[in-house]
Amino acid sequence: MRKFWGVFILELCFALPLQAEQRPLEDVIEEVNPSVVSIAVDVSDREQALGAGIIISADGFVVTNAHVMENAKKITVQTPDGETFAANLVGIDEKTDIALLKVKKPLNLEAGHFGDSDAIRVGNQVFAIGNPFGLGNSVSLGIISAKERDIDKGPYDNFLQTDAAINQGNSGGPLFNMDGKIIGMNTAIFSEDGKNAGVGFATPSNMVKWVVSQLKQHGKVIRGWLGAAVQNIRTKDNEKENALAISAMTENSPAAAAGLKVGDKILALGNISLKNPRLFSLGVAKLAPGTALPITFSRDGQIFNAEITIKTAPEEMKKPETEAVSAEELHSFEELGLDKYKIGKAVDFAGLNLSAYYDEKTKELVITKVAANSEAEEKGVKVGDRLVLADGKQIFGTEDMQVKLKQAAGGVMLLQLRDSEGAYGVSLTVRK
């Protein structure tokens, strides 16, 4: 009996501190709710856009989505207790869909606190606060469904996915963890009919913090630039290599100055992630121009070490056109152009042991057949995959691809493809 009670008391002692750390959700919501504001944007005399925002400092800085600010003529911020303030736009970053506002004459506003979005795990509970349909602050509860989502919204997509209800008017509002720390900013949803489908996307708080610091300091985001496009590499076992291949490169870029060439494999670049091209590009973008770091790469089986100095990203680098769905701009999948493709006749590319047709809408080759036991099959090329670039160059039709194959006959061609999981690359020997 003594042993039984001894164990019970010991377990109770360990359990009490854990229970003490778990605050009631109602208390957490009550504490953070004042930091969430409703935003009304006058875009014309008769038209108004609605969204949400996060107070990030007591002196009146508010962060929200850039798309909420589109065509803004007048910006009004309303706190949960009904007070309204005029606000100015400090800066905007369309590549990450983030805008920074400054409230005029703030009255010691209650600010939210950022958490570490890298520490959040799939399955963790979260809650969102926003301004759905202009109703004012509303709370929805859910979990983190996935991380590092790419939804083709911009070049630095790295979204947290949640099933917490997000609707029109929630854009720019916060996603909190159970401690009341901001771990994301609600940005977009996927929906066929405009209704919440339990698939929402939030910009990670670490991204928001970095962009906000840039906007505060410069009024815009200054990004590091390498001047090389990269892609995943697949082995014969259809596994991704822990390296990235250079698929295209800009002349007079930092990559070119370091001696890199199209087809080289990047094995290491400082502490930048090589998990996928998106995380790699994001890591480079966060580097301050002038930063010098070591790079290790391979070419034709030889390994090279060099130093590369990051430059400022050219201003003319634009965000790709996107058909992602914001919480204020819902479309059906038909409107997204996913229902029809202009399909050409499939052509046999004997040099690569595969067949494909040219999709004029996307300017890509769609694989229709892969020869059994071929190198392409061994490296994971599948029917339905899309061939985007050949040796770093765009493909302008089946005839253009035949010309490229003829020029590369007897050598190796680096192909950039994409499938349902994203972009990947393979190097295939071109038969004569």
DSSP 129-150: EE-GGG---EEEEEEEEEEEE-
Whether 399 is in a domain gets the answer: yes
Could you tell me the sign of the dihedral formed by the alpha carbons of 153, 159, 161, 164, in that order?
A: negative
Same structural domain, 138 and 212: yes
pLDDT of residue 318: 41
Look at residue 402 and tell me whether its pLDDT is greater than 80: yes
Radius of gyration of the chain (CA): 25
Q: What are the tens digits of pLDDT across the range 333-346?
A: 233 333 333 345 67
- 75: containing domain: 29-103
- Residues 205 and 259 placed together within one structural domain of the fold: no
Question: How does residue 328 score in pLDDT terms, banded at 50, 70 and 90?
Answer: very low
**CATH code assigned at 411:** 2.30.42.10
| pTM of the predicted protein model | 0.69
Q: Are residues 121 and 213 in the same domain?
A: yes
Answer yes or no: do 204 and 229 share one domain: no
pLDDT at 147 over 90: yes
Residue where one domain finishes, among candidates 46, 69, 103: 103
Mean pLDDT of all residues belonging to the chain: 83
Per-residue pLDDT of 130-146, as tens digits, reads: 988 888 898 999 999 99
Of 265 and 10, the structure prediction assigns the larger pLDDT to 265
pLDDT score recorded for residue 251? 87
Q: 113-149: buried (b, 16+ CB within 10 Å) or exposed (e) per residue? A: ebbebeebeeeeebbbbbbbeeeebbbbebebbeeeb
For tokens 């736009």, name the residue: 89
User: Does some domain include residue 265?
Assistant: yes
* Residue 328: inside a domain: no
pLDDT band at residue 235, thresholds of 50, 70 and 90? low
Which of residues 70, 103, 136 is at a domain's end? Answer: 103
Tell me what the mean pLDDT of segment 86-98 comes to. Answer: 92
54 SS3 class:
strand
Q: Do 422 and 360 share a structural domain? A: yes
Domain presence at residue 71 = yes
**Last residue in a domain, options 103, 128, 143:** 103
| Cβ atoms < 10 Å from Cβ of 302 | 7
Residue 162 confidence (pLDDT)? 95
Of 329-338, 342-351, 390-399, give the lowest mean pLDDT range.
329-338
Residue 239 has what pLDDT? Answer: 64
pLDDT mean over 277-281: 91
Give the catalytic positions in this structure.
Answer: 67, 97, 171
pLDDT given at position 330: 31
Which residues does 75 contact at the CB level (< 8 Å), separation at least 6? 39, 40, 41, 42, 69, 86, 87, 88, 89, 101
What 3-state class would DSSP assign to 373? Answer: coil
Number of domains in the chain: 4
Any idea what the CATH number is for the domain that residue 152 is in? Answer: 2.40.10.10
Q: Are residues 210 and 228 in the same domain?
A: no
Higher pLDDT, 20 or 61: 61
Residues 72-82: pLDDT tens digits? Answer: 888 999 999 89
47 with 131, same domain: the answer is no
Do 128 and 174 lie in a common domain? yes
Examine the domain organization and report whether 242 and 289 are in the same domain.
yes
Same domain flag for 63 and 121: no
Is 96 found in the same domain as 122? no
pLDDT band, very low/low/confident/very high, at 194 (cuts 50, 70, 90): low
Residue 357 falls within a domain, yes or no?
yes
The number of helices, as runs of H, and strands, as runs of E, in the chain is 7, 26
258 and 294 share one domain? yes
204's tokens: 């990670």
Q: Is residue 324 part of a domain?
A: no
What is the predicted pLDDT for the residue at 46? 76
The answer to whether residue 110 is domain-embedded is no
Q: What is the pLDDT of residue 195?
A: 64
